[in-house]
Amino acid sequence: MDAPNLHRRLRKIIGQVQAIDRMVDEDIPCEDVLSQISAAKTALHRCGQIALEGHIRHCVRDGIEHGDAEKTIESFTKAVERFSNMGR
């Protein structure tokens, strides 16, 4: 996994959710709160994509070294399924 990239993104997401938490007490239009929630959701989804891509890359490099296609495919299939089922 691309750790520095994920850390940077996750810390930004924490800031976004803290900002949403403050918006709840202020007189902010509902649609603006929803826009911020949407942005945080999309940012989390992108973290999932980065984690998945890093994992598949790792599996492929490892697989080409060892030459076992079936074992390589097996090593990332569960992560692809988990990513595909990520929350709405």
Q: How many residues does the chain have?
A: 88
Kindly report the number of other CB atoms within 10 A of residue 41's CB atom.
14
Minimum CB separation of residue 33 from a second copy in Å reads 5
DSSP code per residue over 6-29: HHHHHHHHHHHHHHHHHHTTTT--
- By rule CB under 8 A, what count of residues binds a second copy? 62
Question: Which residues lie near a second copy (CB under 8 A)?
Answer: 1, 3, 6-7, 10-11, 13-14, 17-18, 20-21, 24-25, 29-31, 33-35, 37-49, 51-57, 60-61, 63-64, 67-69, 72-73, 76-88
